[in-house]
A and B are shown apart, each in its own frame.
Chain A
Amino acid sequence: MIIIADGLSLGAIYALIALGYTMVYGIAKMLNFAHGDIIMVGAYVILTTLQMTGNPYIAIAASIVVCTVAGIVIERLAYKPLRGASPLAVLITAIGVSFLLQSVAQLIYGSKSQAIALPDFGKITIAGNHIAVSTLITLIVGGIIMAGLTVFVKKTSTGRAMQAVSEDRGAALLMGVNVNRIIMITFAIGSALAAFASLFYLMQIPSITPTLGSMPGIKAFTAAVIGGIGSIPGAMLGGVLLGLIEKVCLSIPAISPYTTAIEFGLLIIILLVKPIGILGKQRREKV
């Protein structure tokens, strides 16, 4: 029970990050390898605002704002000029942005890990199991955010336009959709979700380094690919699946050292069995 709750909440964190990868991939047709580092940016913003104000809610709000703005600025300055360039050039730029963010963090905060003191919500007992309240918060808030995102994408005009751009940019343009604006909104949403992921991550592991975003970033990217990159429900499913597997493996002493290997092994198996991921859709290539 505890393992399932822990797994689901870690899964929610992966899912929130995976959504950023998958939405940007689906709509801007690029792999944003700097996405994981947005989590790190969010973490340092929480750290600094918490030190300055002592108020965790202000810290969270600041982190969401800064991450969202960072996502938009990165897209405008680094990726937008490369619209239509070769995928390799875009990929290398993304890796460059990732290094840049890590280096700037290192300049400001140094490379030593810093502890952060988030409010401790304690534990509650459900049916005889002691579960950390932070785990439940992650689960519930994460679930609400994902449900909200699903409704937004399906039911609003902007959400529909995002789906349209993802499928056929030219046809969306013919409908009057400002494709650049939709891509910008996608980066903004993805980065805001990363800010939440960053908060939930810190509630589990309260220490920060400039490379903090790398591992969850790679795991979440794996989750996005397992679920089917480009698919929003796929990212959620992949994230939760990976979180559960990770916590279950870690809980069994005999296999816990191999957890990461098992996770990436799963990725390889899924790619062999269904290269487009569990919920990925085969798309007719457009000319």
Chain B
Amino acid sequence: MALLEIKNLEVFYGMIQAIKGISFEVNEGEIVTLIGANGAGKTTTMQSIMGLVPIKRGTVTYNGQDITKVPGHKIVNLGMTQVPEGRRIFQELTVYDNLLMGAYTVKDKKQIKDDIDEICTRFEILGQRKNQIAGTLSGGEQQMLAMGRAMMSHPKLLMLDEPSMGLSPLFVDKVFDIIKDYHKSGTTILLVEQNAKKALSIADRAYVLETGSISLSGKAEDLLNNEDVKKAYLGA
């Protein structure tokens, strides 16, 4: 059984249909990537799964439970969270308070303290900047914070929306290393990326989204060698 299953998902902005009945699934232990051009609907898909934009038709099933109508704030508790596009860290709060926000649904104080220590070891820079106002971090550091913040809720499934956006090549590699690492420690990953080459190189399976519909899907390595994908997304 799939950990996350999307069936015939349709999302509208007013009269405009952004998602035109897509279906896909993420199995436990996988890294699945969703690639596609600007405006294809990747962010819309991610946001509708977490209840940030309303779903018109279709179903989202997580861990066997239909969560299509579950309010967004209850979804984190089920073990799924998201690093949103553009990071969206709380700019006016400190690094430490951002991490505490990530643990909003965790009640055990000791657990939270241990988790913050662990995150600050995983991301050294966050440990050094604990009391800094998050808005003053560099873009790369903010991405680390956004990922650390999401990890605070111990998700079984972590969704990341363009985590490499706007980062220097060195930081991009770092972000992908972190994702691989985190996956190894037992978390299922759904990754949205513009950087299709990188995404396909760490993923198990992939879906290609084109103006609201899935045009291609399969094993990541097969897509890496697919002529159409190469032409459209890998710049070859």
Contacts and interface: CB of A to CB of B under 8 A. Distances in A.
Contact of A168 (B51, B75, B90): B90
A55 interface: no
A192 interface: no
Interface residues of A, number: 20
B111 interface: no
Contacts of A254: none
Interface in A165-219: 167-168, 170-179
A172 B52 CA distance: 11
B101 A175 contact: yes
A123 interface: no
A160 B100 contact: yes
Contact of A174 (B50, B71, B91, B92): B50
Nearest to B75: A176
Contacts of A53: none
Nearest to B135: A284
A60 B235 CA distance: 72
B13 interface: no
A167 B73 contact: no
Interface of A is mostly: helix
21 contacts: A160-B97, A160-B101, A167-B90, A167-B92, A168-B90, A170-B84, A171-B88, A171-B89, A171-B90, A173-B50, A173-B51, A173-B52, A174-B84, A174-B88, A175-B102, A175-B104, A175-B105, A175-B153, A176-B75, A176-B104, A176-B105
B34 to A, nearest CB: 18
Given A160-B101, A161-B104, A164-B101, A173 B73 contact: yes
Given A174-B76, A176-B73, A176-B105, A164 B52 contact: no
B72 interface: yes
Interface in A126-167: 157, 160-161, 163-164, 167
Interface string A74-103: 000000000000000000000000000000
Contact of B72 (A161, A163, A173, A286): A173
Contacts of B82: 174
Nearest to B53: A170
B88 A170 contact: yes
A177 B104 contact: yes
